Amino acid sequence: MDTLESLRGKSEGAKDLKSVVSAMKAMAASNIVQYETAVSALGDYYHTVALGIIAYFKAEK
């Protein structure tokens, strides 16, 4: 059977682990926002390039 001190140590370890997991979740959420922003920017870039190509070929006629 675990002693009181052993149980306290396990409790502190669990609290530390919870803190680490919370920090990792926050970092993951931040990374997701960065990737979503990048995808949006790439969509805008693609649209701009497509408009440029269309304008070029219309001017060639």
pLDDT in tens, 13-34: 888 899 999 999 999 998 899 9
Please say whether the beta carbons of 18 and 26 come within 8 A: no
Percent of the chain with pLDDT over 90: 61
Work out the widest C-alpha separation in the chain, in whole angstroms: 88
pLDDT at 59: 92
Query: How many residues in total does the chain contain?
Result: 61
Confidence grade of residue 11 (pLDDT, cut at 50, 70, 90): confident
3-state secondary structure 27-60: HHHHHHHHHHHHHHHHHHHHHHHHHHHHHHHHHH
Residue that has been written with the tokens 């922003």 in this structure? 37
Q: What is the pLDDT, as a whole number, of residue 1? A: 66
DSSP state of 14: H
- What pLDDT is recorded for position 7? 82
